[in-house]
Amino acid sequence: MARFDFFNTPRILFGRGRIAEIGTLSKSFGARVLLVYNGDAPGAGGPLDRATDQLRSALVEVHAFRQRGEPQVSDVERAVAAAGEAGCDVVVGLGGGSAIDCAKAVAGVLANGGSPLDYMEVIGQGRPLTKQATPWIAVPTTAGTGAEVSRNAVVGEPTRKFKASLRSELLLPRVALVDPELGVNVPPDVTAASGMDALCQLVESYTSTGAQPMTDALALRGIELAARALPRAFRNGADLDAREDMALAALLSGITLTNAGLGAVHGFAAPLGANFPVPHGVVCAALLPHVMRANIDALWNQSKDHPLLERYAAVGRLLLGWPDAERHAAAEAGIDAAEALARALKIPGLGNYGLADSDVPAMVALAKRASSMRFNPVALSDDALADVLRSAL
């Protein structure tokens, strides 16, 4: 068996109604919280109000910072400044992946000093973080990115037309609090896109060159959960059983991506999200079947007995619920199932966000720089990568 490392959040609280514990948890780390959130504004009666009420009941001083859109370097710098001025000693990230990534980056920079660019891969200086992040708690309200248990914070920089990560086990939260009830009022389009992000992360980490026994087990369980629950959560947001299954699938996807890496879908996500107004989950949904096709074809051309083909077959069996399907048929059907799921969830093509055929060469060149690309199960040629993008228009 190959050697491997395994990183994980020290404590995970999972279950309905657990947002009631956020005040006591935060109080155990400090007295002044920077609450980074997105979604509903104060007074809407949503997760923000529930969390704020619990924090104040525990006599925790709350300083709210609203993250609008995916975090940029300037957002993180403003939030760090706000936390410093208020003397915050705890950070809470409440919301989707954007709020949690911002909170994660803020906690890391607060403890280590400087700017996010000092520590960012690809477009920054890539300096290692040397100090444990300021204590912070991740509270997801969407089931998608798994950012509540991942050790990287994705941050964009418009002037460099790229999104990149601060990455270190020192960024892991002290606690991930996952309450499926917080997702009940998430709109269907957000449910669809975030859910496809989770599914994509599970598929990519299972087929990654960094896959290992522990991530394999978690990824397979997550794919099974997402395949059955995502359509139900999309059709009926109040289906708490479906919300619970998707919350767990997203949580598992964050653990697997942290330890196994991802692939070409997420390699493309960095430049596409930085250059076009396309939600991250939409990128994942639009590209997943086409990347699966490119990878399976490339592996098949190398060897019809390539061991990674069986992994794609396992994915296909789980997506379709065909446990006894033959390897090649299951792998092919898995591609069709991923594409059919994206259609059922009404995921638009990337052309709807301004991506044109003329943009493809530049996006391919940028994607090849992304850290996720090195974990793709097979090296794809520029022509194959371009075909993937054109197929998703």
pLDDT in tens, 5-54: 999 999 999 999 999 999 999 999 999 999 999 987 788 889 999 999 99
Rounded average pLDDT over 135-155: 96
What is the helix, strand, coil percentage profile of the chain, to 5? 60, 10, 30
What pLDDT, on the 0 to 100 scale, is given for residue 95?
96
Domain limits, the chain: 11-183, 188-391
In Å, how far are 12, 209, 274, 350, 372 from 270, measured between CA atoms?
28, 20, 6, 14, 9
**Whether the predicted pLDDT of 364 surpasses 90:** yes
Q: Which CATH architecture has domain 188-391?
A: Up-down Bundle (1.20)
Are 196 and 288 in contact, with CB atoms under 8 Å apart? yes
Cross-strand bridge partners of residue 154? 165
Are 207 and 377 in contact, with CB atoms under 8 Å apart? yes
Are 283 and 350 in contact, with CB atoms under 8 Å apart? yes
Cα 203 off chain centre by: 13
Rounded average pLDDT over 178-182: 97
CA–CA separation, 72 and 265 (whole Å):
21
| Tokens read off for 86 | 């208020």
Q: Which CATH architecture has domain 11-183?
A: 3-Layer(aba) Sandwich (3.40)
DSSP code string of 280-339: HHHHHHHHHHHHHHHHHHHHHHH-TT-HHHHHHHHHHHHHHT-TT--HHHHHHHHHHHHH
